[in-house]
Amino acid sequence: MNEVTIGDQPIATESKTENSTVEKTISKLNFKDSNALDEKEKKIFPAVRNNLQSFVESVAKIKQISRGIDPDRAETIPSLGGNRQLDTPIKDLDAQQCERGGWKNDWDFLFSCISVSVGLGNIWRFPYLCFKNGGGTFLVTYFVAMVACGIPLFYQEVAIGQYLGVGGMTLIAELAPIMKGVGYATMTVTFLVNIYYSVIVAWTLFYFIASFAALPGLPWQSCGNSWNTLDCFQPTSNTSVLHNGSVSAVEEFWSRRVLAITNGIENPGGMRWELFGVLILSWIMIYFIIWKGINQSGYIIWFTALFPYVILSVLVVRAVTLDGAGDGLLYYITPNFDLLLTSGPWIDGATQIFFSYSIGTGALPALGSYNKFKHNCYRDAIITCVVNTLTCLIAGVVTFSILGNIASATDSSIESVVSSGPGLVFITYPEVVLRLPGAPFWAIIFFMMLVILGIDSEFCVVEAFVTGIVDNWPNQLRKCRRLFVVATIIVIFLLSLPMITEGGVYLFQIMDYYSASGMSMLFLVFFQTISINWIFGGNKFCDAVEQMLGQKPSRFLYICWVFLAPAVMLGIFVFSIVQYTPVTYGLGYQYPTWAEALGICISLSSMLWIPLYAAYYIYITPGTLREVIFSI
Which range of 60-69, 147-156, 316-325 scores highest in mean pLDDT? It is 147-156
- Helices 425-434/181-213 angle, 10° precision: 30
Of 51-55, 161-165, 176-180, give the lowest mean pLDDT range.
51-55
For the chain, domain boundaries: 6-98, 101-629
What pLDDT is stored for residue 166 in this prediction?
67
What is the percent of the chain where pLDDT is above 90? 26
Q: Which pLDDT value is given to residue 63?
A: 38
Q: What is the pLDDT of residue 101?
A: 53
- The whole-number pLDDT of residue 632 equals 58
Considering only residues 507 and 77, tell me which one the structure prediction assigns the higher pLDDT: 507
Mean pLDDT of the chain: 78
5 pLDDT above the threshold of 50: no
Buried b / exposed e along 297-330 (16+ C-beta atoms within 10 A): bbebbbebbebbeebbeebbebbbebebbebbbe
- Band of residue 45 on the pLDDT scale cut at 50, 70, 90: very low
Query: Does pLDDT of 19 surpass 80?
Result: no
Q: Which helix (H) or strand (E) holds 388?
A: helix 377-410
pLDDT digits (tens, 9 = 90+) for 485-535: 889 999 999 999 999 999 999 999 999 888 877 788 889 999 999 999 999
> What's the rounded Cα separation, in Å, for the pair 164 and 156?
12
Q: What pLDDT is stored for residue 102 in this prediction? A: 61
96 confidence band (pLDDT: 50, 70, 90):
very low
115 close to 307: Cβ distance less than 8 angstroms? no
- List, as own/partner pairs, every contact residues 296-301 make where C-beta atoms lie below 8 angstroms and the sequence separation is at least 24, other chains included: 296/101, 297/459, 298/103, 298/104, 298/105, 298/108, 298/111, 298/112, 301/108, 301/111, 301/112, 301/115, 301/456
Exposed (0-12), middle (13-18) or buried (19+): which is 76, by Cβ within 10 Å? middle
Mean pLDDT is lowest, of 43-57, 180-194, 339-353, 356-370, for: 43-57
- Pick left, alpha or beta for residue 135 (phi over 0 → left; psi -120 to 50 → alpha; otherwise beta): left
**pLDDT band at residue 292 using 50, 70 and 90 as cut-offs:** low
User: CA-CA distances (angstroms) from residue 77 to 69, 154, 195, 474?
Assistant: 15, 23, 37, 21
What's the pLDDT at 300?
Answer: 62
Q: Is 453 annotated as a binding residue?
A: yes
Q: What is the predicted pLDDT for the residue at 116?
A: 66
Known binder of ligand: residue 356?
Answer: yes
3-state percent helix, strand, coil for the chain, nearest multiple of 5:
70, 5, 25
Q: Which one is predicted more confidently, 590 or 54?
A: 590
Whether 74 has a pLDDT exceeding 90, the answer reads: no
Question: Which pLDDT belongs to residue 89?
Answer: 38
Which class would CATH give 101-629? mainly alpha
Confidence band for 230, pLDDT divided at 50, 70 and 90? confident
> What is the average per-residue pLDDT within 230-243?
66
Give burial (CB, 10 Å; 0-12/13-18/19+) of 528: buried
Can you tell me the mean pLDDT for 400-427? 80
Distance CA 93, CA 70 (A): 10
Highest mean pLDDT (candidates 5-14, 231-240, 398-407): 398-407
Distance (Å, rounded) from C-alpha 196 to C-alpha 495?
A: 9
Tell whether 147 is in a known binding site: no
pLDDT of residue 420: 56
